[in-house]
Amino acid sequence: MLSDEELFELVVRTDDQNAFEALVVKYRFSAITYVTKIIKDNYYAQDLTQNVFANIYFKRKQIGVPVSFKFYLYKALKNQAIDWIRKNRRIEEVDIDNFTISFEQAEPGDYVQSLKPLLKAEDYHLVILRFYYGFKFKEIAELMNISAGNARIRCSRLKWKLRGLKNEEK
């Protein structure tokens, strides 16, 4: 019985489709389960998992033989799932044209909701975009009509302010 790395080496060197199929069969269900736990949608988890396996196959020559095929696979699955979450959350929950967020729809955690009366509206939006949705500074800058550097500085200052508020609670 060949190890996963030996099977993938066969795929890389000889384009052995049977070896790759053995890897897919071995990891398919656990990979789908893993992605489903991250994105909470089995249908899209299957699609993302298939895309990851396809990408690995088509880029096999560039990838080479990883030290651990399983680690490489799960890292790729995680990255693909995170990208999917970022793309789909924004589309559903943020109205970019009017820059309005329905905080009731966004359902931030209780702690984030408790910050609303303590922060200016603009700062609260910044907290939601950066720390809840994971937007990048450049994206925040475009949404709020400020520079990326300004968004970074304001986020840094808000972190310090939030740490101070949290320490006051203790």
The model's pTM: 0.53
Question: 4-92, which class in CATH?
Answer: mainly alpha
Digit-by-digit pLDDT tens for the chain (170 residues) are: 788 888 888 888 898 899 999 999 999 999 999 888 888 888 999 999 999 999 999 988 888 877 888 888 988 998 898 888 888 764 444 444 443 433 333 444 556 667 777 888 888 878 777 777 677 888 888 778 889 899 889 988 888 887 777 667 65
- CATH 1.10.10 for the 94-169 domain, yes or no: yes
The set of residues, in sequence order, having a beta carbon less than 8 Å from that of 147 and lying 6+ positions away, is 141
DSSP secondary structure string for all residues of 33-91: HHHHHHHS-HHHHHHHHHHHHHHHHHTHHHH---S-HHHHHHHHHHHHHHHHHHHHHHH
Kindly state the helix (H) or strand (E) to which residue 118 belongs, with its residue range.
none
- CB distance 147 to 138 below 8 Å: no
Write down the pLDDT at residue 116: 76
| Residue at token pair 């994206």 | 139
- Say how many C-beta atoms besides its own lie within 10 A of residue 52's C-beta: 22
Residues of the chain with CATH 1.10.1740.10: 4-92
Residues of the chain with CATH 1.10.10: 94-169
Kindly state the helix (H) or strand (E) to which residue 94 belongs, with its residue range.
none
Write down the pLDDT at residue 110: 57
Write down the pLDDT at residue 135: 76
Instruction: Give the distance from CA 95 to its chain's centroid.
Output: 20
Write down the pLDDT at residue 97: 42
- CB distance 110 to 132 below 8 Å: no
Write down the pLDDT at residue 109: 54
